[in-house]
Structure formats: structure tokens, C-alpha cells
């Protein structure tokens, strides 16, 4: 990308952070002693793995060296956020093995929607840990952690102090599963669009509830261009006329944009009603869309094609997932195997981004973190 265009692109992203002050500088940089994260697989650091079985190899191979509860070859955007704030990677609230919650907790689980779905994980593939459930988990964690911490000893070192809850950054990355769940249920894009107001209403309620628990600093990602992901494209027979010039499904990306417009309006309304809150609306859609459109210009070789998978136009098969193996002559071999250069691919497994793509996304949104504690 031309350096001038790149600079303008970065500036346009920063200008979309609704919580940023109109002042060009701030005397005080933000300091967050903890992060409490809510979301789906885009920010799940081990929740679904703890509840329903580990995400096996080759997940985690590019950084952790072995599976680490993430549906990725390495770190997620939330991991880079934690690194940038000088905090440890977030332990999943549902993971009782080796977790340290002194600097926050992660309530996200892969497949989680904002709205509760009337189905089990095995029926639909979507997590039962919807945003309202994640809030209940947070509510209980908030109260019980202080009771247990008062016992002293190891409990004091493994749980956050009381002040952390009012000083923490509350991060959100949800909505993608609400949109795809409707589409997977054979609803039209127009039918899913009619459900967006109710989805946004439930999201607003969660923010208000957390505010009622003392949360003051909110970092809210919008949803990405779902029409560029193989698992959505391959799930349904899509006509040639449905694709844009870059190979993404236009109607699905439009659906994501409609959701994002409603989410942005919700942030404006929340800021007006929650006087002490600093709320950042983070336009990750634009960053991800840019990456799909101009992958090679940013050093990537693969854009729509998955790194880890099997067969087809996108190296994706919903029946043969990343990491699937079979036994041949007594030896296990990968069918859903990873590519040789995951650092050059945008998409990891047809559903999720690679560590390299997550780092690209983080780098574009990172400047806003230094101002995320400032109210407009």
C-alpha cells in the first residue's frame, strides 16, 4: 500500500473511535490493571476448550508450540492487547487448570452469540454461553473473587483486588455468530436484518449491567466481513452474481455493515446514558476488509484461502476440519493439515484469522488504547 494511503487509512480508523476526545493530546496515558473480556472465538483463550474439549493440534503451533485453547495458530487480538498493556494473557473463566485471574478474566467462548439460541452445541455448533450467561459468570466472579481473596495466601495472588474492577478495560468482540446463526437456519439476509435491533438491545443491556457493577472503560469491536470467510461462503450455494470483485459475498458483508451501524448508534446512546463511562467503538471491519482486499500489499500470500484445512477452492471442508487425522497403515496423518507458511495467510481454518492477521489488525487499532480511558 502507498505510504500516504496507508496513513490516511490509519487516520480514518482512529477517527471512528467514538470515545476519543476532540483534544489532540492527553496529559495522562491510560493504565488498566486488568482486562475482562466478553466474546466468541475471535477472543476465546480457552473457554470452549475447557467446557467441551480441547482445540487440538495444529492450533497454537506458531507461538505457543502446542494447543492453547485458541482457534488459531498463535495469538489473538486480545492477546496482543494484553501484551501492549503489560498484562499476562487472559485465563479463561471456565478453565480451572493453571489459571491466574489476578489481572482479569476471559468469559468468551467460541461459538457464543449475543442472543441465547434455543439449541445445544451439538445441534447447532453454537455455544450456550451467550452474552447474558457471560455476564452472570462475571457477576459471580466479581462477588466471589473478593470473598475468596480475603482468605489471603495464594488466593490473594491469584484473584484481582477490588479496585481492579472499576479500573479495568472491558473488551467485547461479539455479533458474528448472531448473524451467521440466522443465515445457517435458512433465513434470508433480510430476515436476519430484522433481528438486529433485538440483538443490539441485548448487547446494550449487558453494557449497562457491567456499568452497574462498576465497569467504566469499554472497548467494543464491531463485527468483521463475514462474507469473506470460507465457512460462510461454502455453507450455502452462492451464485456467481453474489460475489464482489474480490471474491467476497456482498450481501453478507452488507449484513455485517448493517449490524455495525446499529452497534455504533448503540454506543452513542450508551455514552449519553452512562455519564461516567468511556466507550470506544473499534472499527475492526475496515481493517479486516482491507486485509482481504489487499493481502499481498501487506505481505500476505493467501487471503480467502485457509491455511489449515482440506480441499476445495478455499482449502476448507466443513466435514474435514483443521487438525483432523486418519490412520494409514497404523500411523496417524493429518487430513486437515496446516500450510507451510501460516504467517503468510490471512485465514487460519476457514473461520478464524491467523496470528499474523491478528497482529496486523491489532497494529491498526492499537493507537486507540492509549486514549480508551478518556471520555468524550
d(CA 244, CA 303): 14
Would you say 141 and 148 are in contact if contact means Cβ atoms under 8 Å apart? no
Residue with cell 480441547: 54
Burial classification of residue 276, based on how many CB atoms lie within 10 Å of its CB (0-12 exposed, 13-18 middle, 19 or more buried): exposed
Angle between helices 77-84 and 355-365 (to 10 degrees): 50
Q: Which residues contact 254 (CB under 8 A, 6 or more apart)?
A: 189, 227
214: region left, alpha or beta (phi > 0 left; psi from -120 to 50 alpha): left
Instruction: Output the nine-digit C-alpha cell for 210.
Output: 457491567
Active site residues: 41, 349, 352
As a three-state string, the secondary structure of 227-269 is HHCHHHHCCCCCCHHHECCCCCEHHHHHHHHHHHHHHHHHHHH
Considering Cα of 77, then 225, then 136, then 20, what sign does the dihedral take? positive
In a 10 Å sphere around its CB, with 0-12 CB exposed, 13-18 middle and 19+ buried, how is residue 353 labelled? Answer: buried
As given in the structure block, the three cell numbers for residue 278 are 468511556
Amino acid at each position: 500500500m502507498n505510504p500516504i494511503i496507508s496513513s490516511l487509512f490509519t487516520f480514518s480508523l482512529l477517527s471512528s473511535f467514538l470515545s476519543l476526545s476532540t483534544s489532540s493530546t492527553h496529559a495522562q496515558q491510560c493504565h488498566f490493571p486488568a482486562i475482562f473480556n466478553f466474546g466468541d472465538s475471535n477472543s476465546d483463550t480457552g473457554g470452549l476448550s475447557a467446557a467441551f474439549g480441547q482445540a487440538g493440534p495444529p492450533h497454537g503451533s506458531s507461538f505457543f508450540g502446542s494447543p492453547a485453547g485458541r482457534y488459531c495458530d498463535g495469538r489473538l487480538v486480545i492477546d496482543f492487547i494484553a501484551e501492549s498493556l503489560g498484562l499476562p494473557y487472559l485465563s479463561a473463566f471456565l478453565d480451572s487448570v493453571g489459571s491466574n485471574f489476578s489481572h482479569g478474566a476471559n468469559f468468551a467462548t467460541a461459538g457464543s452469540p449475543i442472543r441465547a439460541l434455543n439449541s445445544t452445541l451439538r445441534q447447532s455448533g453454537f455455544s450456550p454461553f451467550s452474552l447474558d450467561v457471560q455476564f452472570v459468570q462475571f457477576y459471580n466472579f466479581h462477588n466471589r473473587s473478593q470473598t475468596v481473596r480475603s482468605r489471603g495466601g495464594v488466593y490473594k495472588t491469584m484473584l484481582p483486588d477490588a479496585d481492579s474492577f472499576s479500573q479495568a478495560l472491558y473488551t467485547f468482540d461479539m455479533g458474528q455468530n448472531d448473524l451467521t446463526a440466522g443465515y445457517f437456519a435458512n433465513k434470508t439476509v433480510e430476515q436476519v436484518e430484522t433481528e438486529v435491533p433485538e440483538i443490539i438491545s441485548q448487547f446494550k443491556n449487558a453494557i449497562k449491567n457491567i456499568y452497574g457493577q462498576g465497569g467504566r472503560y469499554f472497548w467494543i469491536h464491531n463485527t468483521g466481513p463475514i462474507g469473506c470467510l470460507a465457512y460462510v461462503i461454502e455453507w450455502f450455494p452462492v451464485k456467481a452474481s453474489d460475489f464482489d470483485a474480490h471474491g467476497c459475498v456482498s450481501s453478507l458483508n452488507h449484513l455485517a455493515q448493517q449490524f455495525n451501524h446499529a452497534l455504533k448508534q448503540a454506543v452513542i446512546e450508551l455514552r449519553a446514558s452512562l455519564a461516567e463511562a468511556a466507550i470506544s467503538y473499534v472499527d475492526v471491519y475496515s481493517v479486516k476488509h482491507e486485509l482481504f482486499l489487499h493481502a499481498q500489499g501487506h505481505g500476505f500470500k493467501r487471503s480467502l484461502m485457509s491455511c489449515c484445512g482440506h480441499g476445495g477452492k478455499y482449502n476448507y471442508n466443513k466435514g474435514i476440519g483443521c487438525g483432523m487425522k486418519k490412520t494409514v497403515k497404523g500411523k496417524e496423518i493429518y487430513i486437515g493439515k496446516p500450510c507451510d507458511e501460516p504467517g503468510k495467510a490471512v485465514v487460519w481454518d476457514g473461520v478464524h484469522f491467523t496470528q499474523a492477521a491478528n497482529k496486523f489488525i491489532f497494529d491498526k487499532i492499537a493507537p486507540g488504547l492509549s486514549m480508551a480511558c478518556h471520555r468524550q
